[in-house]
Amino acid sequence: MRVLLAAARLQLATFRRSPDDLMVLLTVPLFTPIFLVIAKHAGRLDLAPYAVLAPGIIAMLSMALNTSGEIIERDRWGGTFELTLATPARLPVIVLGRVATVTLASLLGIAESWLVAYLMFGIAVPVLHPGAFVLTLTATAIATAGTAVVFAAVFVWTRSARTFQNSLSYPLLLLGGALVPVALLPEPLHPISRAVYLSWAADLLRASLAPGPVSALWPRLGIVVGLGAVGYVIGFALLRWVIHRARTTGKVGYA
């Protein structure tokens, strides 16, 4: 627990000293007006919750890809990776502490989006099922952190992590139903989309803003957490592989 907290503090201190890591939170307020204007001019202000929620989800995923995804890579280039391996602390715990902090920071994007909608358009999107909303947001954050561990482990050994980061974000946002619900996507995409935790999470978040009851909350939450758990399992296995590779070959990645 102590190492986890130390890693979280390190990440917070890094944020304070490197605000560029939080750049996504500056772009979120730009997305909200775009989506809201489209909804407004289409005469579909009933879609305002979709328009307000989407930028928050985009922020969460972008920070998982770009900031969390680069945690090990940056340590590697900074020469701290090997020194970390030489300490009694476990790398997966350190990565988890840092990734969790990034994920928590990314949640600010959701608050920002709500604020922008209210301040710029006077639209206050009510959270009609606050319990479901908070639970879903928590489950989403947990699953996002797990997925971010996978990104951090994968990007460190890819030759062109930046290309992956850039090209992965759009498919994930599409398949994750960040703006458009999965149900509206072409039928062949549904099975793939349902394997992405975000698609379940985004649907649940939207449902918690809608007037009707939130159906099958617990099973759907379970799926979000379950898919997130799969992310942790894969992520930690990949981290073990990264450590093993570093120790056996003397190299961490291919770059």
Partner 1 sequence: MRHVHPISIRHLTRRFPPARKGGPERIALDRVSLDIHAGEVHGLLGPNGAGKTTLCKILSTVLLPTSGTATIYGFDVVTQARSVRPLIGLVFGGERGLYSRLTARQNLRYWAALYRVPRRQVTDRVETLLARLGLAERAHERVETWSRGMKQRLHLARGLIGDPKVMILDEPTAGMDPVAAREFRGLVRELRGEGRTLLITTHDMAEAEAVCDRVTLIDGGRLLRTEDPRTIGRWVSAHERVDAADVPEPILSNLESLPGVARVERLSRGAVRIHTSVEGATATVLRTLLDAGVTRVATTEPSLEEVYLHVVGNRGMRV
Evaluate the CA torsion angle 137, 113, 37, 186 in order and state its sign. negative
Structure tokens that stand for 234 in this block = 């894969």
Length of the chain: 255
Give the distance, in angstroms, between the CA of residue 219 and the centroid of all CA atoms in the same chain: 21
Q: What is the DSSP string of 152-202?
A: HHHHHHSTTHHHHHHHHHHHHHHHTTSSS-GGGS-GGGHHHHTTSHHHHHH
Rg of the chain (C-alpha set): 19
Q: Which of 14, 138, 158, 169 binds partner 1 (CB under 8 A)?
A: 14
Segment interacting with partner 1 (CB under 8 A) among 60-68, 146-154, 199-207, 247-255: 247-255
Report the nearest approach of partner 1 to the CB of residue 230 (Å).
28
Looking at the Cβ atoms of 191 and 254, the one nearer to partner 1 is 254
CB 143, min distance to partner 1, A: 27
CA–CA gap between residue 212 and residue 128 (Å, rounded): 9
**Residue 88 is which amino acid?**
P
Which range touches partner 1 (CB under 8 A), out of 12-20, 52-60, 157-165, 179-187? 12-20
- Cβ nearer to partner 1, comparing 42 with 86: 86
- Binding piece for partner 1, criterion CB under 8 A, among 10-18, 101-109, 112-120, 216-224: 10-18
Structure tokens at 132: 């479901």
Q: Residues binding partner 1: what is the number (CB under 8 A)?
A: 27
| Residue 250 in contact with partner 1, rule: CB under 8 A | yes
Our finding on whether 23 is near partner 1 (CB under 8 A) is no
> Are the CB atoms for 108 and 137 separated by under 8 Å?
no
Longest dimension (CA), the chain: 61
For residues 224 and 143, the answer to whether their CB atoms sit within 8 Å is: yes
Residues 138-167 that bind partner 1 (CB under 8 A): none
Pattern of binders to partner 1 over 67-86, x per CB under 8 A? -----------xxx-xxxxx
81 vs 200, beta carbon nearer partner 1: 81
Window of 48-56, 88-96, 193-201, 229-237 that interacts with partner 1 by CB under 8 A: 88-96
Q: Is 249 in the site for partner 1 (CB under 8 A)?
A: yes
Q: Which residues bind partner 1 (CB under 8 A)?
A: 2-3, 5-6, 9-10, 13-14, 17-18, 78-80, 82-89, 94, 246-250
